[in-house]
A = this chain, B = another copy of it.
Amino acid sequence: MKKTPTKMADGRELIYYDEDESVIRDNTDLRKLPELQFTSEIRHDPLLDEWVVVASHRQSRTFLPPTNRCPLCATSAENPTEIPASDYDVVVFENRFPSLALSALDIDPAVPVDAGLVDRRPARGRSEVVVFTSDHDRSFSQLSLARVRTVLDVWADRTADLSAMPGIEQVFPFENCGIEIGVTLSHPHGQIYAYPFVTPKTNRMLRSARHYREEKGRNLFVDVLAAERRLGERVVVANDNWTAFVPSAARWPIDLHIYPHRQMPDLTGLTSTERADFAELYLTVLGKLDALYGKRLPYIAGWHQAPVSRDRDLAYLHMELFSVQRAADKLKYLAGSESGMAVWINDATPERIAEMLREAGI
């Protein structure tokens, strides 16, 4: 894999990741782009003890443009896009409408937020777009094994780079797939958020893992994986280095956790064999999702990685993938109980979900 970092017309970073080591990337972004001004901030919610990102400049972001105006396609004479090349493999660039940006301006002290109760800081992190292929009409599940492997290498490389940037505390590569869940660009892509804090979800898991280690002297994630593999009831697919299982307290109609068999803090620790095995298993998983109802399911898939600078021995790299599709023609909505009280109601048992997925697409 060849990595070529470049700059876009407005100064944002764009990186080509090419499978062919001989490719030369010397195109220039010729567009005239407006100067960027990021006013994102993070605010600490004193009641829930969680950071919230306030990114007011994003209201005007691109919303489902027609295909011939897709900003993620390769550049043509008619459509100068975010990617100033006539073709590419995988490309990563800084989001034009970022939630988090290292260049976020200082907090405007004129906005009164009552600093006594509410901590405010510039949202200095990074929001990257990862374009998986130049083929606008492909889905992740249709990528070649080699390309999935490249994407995994890119995620790992970005994790290393972003973890080294000032103030970054957690790196979250994820894919939102499907118009049903609000995806605003249909070209196959994912995102990476590099947060300037440890996320609430990760904090909760680490708290549980800390209690468990204090009580039992063992790693919670290791024991959860071992229990699932021993029981087998909720395992959907596994190979030598990975197991995909439905968690015992699944929240979503489709809810899959994919663990490597070795504990490690983040993607950078994966061996070459582990990477190859993930690519193979992940394509099987996505094939099952497509087969389940004979249509492409909306899903969210994200990598849970250790915080950059603490609890790296407690954490356990894994992917969580879930879908709101609760039947062929029905979506699960987060209503009062979920959104209001954080109590998830699942209409399907985790064992039944696992059975459906095991049987799908064989």
Contact = CB atoms under 8 A, between A and B. Distances in A.
Contacts of A336: 172, 174-176, 191, 193, 300, 302
Contact of A248 (B113, B172, B231): B113
For this chain, the copies found in one complex come to 2
A24 interface: no
A337 B172 contact: yes
A45 B51 CA distance: 23
B59 A348 contact: yes
A343 B199 contact: yes
Contacts of A248: 43, 45-46, 113-114, 117-118
A347 B56 contact: yes
Contacts of A195: 341, 343
A208 B47 contact: yes
Contact of A48 (B182, B204, B350): B204
B341 A300 contact: no
Interface string A322-336: 100011001111111
Interface in A236-273: 247-251
A300 B337 CA distance: 10
A295 to B, nearest CB: 19
A343 B53 contact: yes
Interface stretch (A146-154, A159-167, A219-227): A219-227
B201 A117 contact: no
13 contacts: A43-B249, A46-B248, A47-B224, A50-B342, A50-B344, A54-B349, A56-B349, A59-B327, A117-B224, A199-B341, A300-B336, A300-B340, A302-B340
- 4 interchain residue pairs of minimum CB distance: A182-B333, A174-B336, A45-B249, A199-B341
Given A52-B344, A200-B343, 7 more contacts: A47-B208, A49-B204, A54-B346, A114-B230, A172-B337, A193-B337, A302-B340
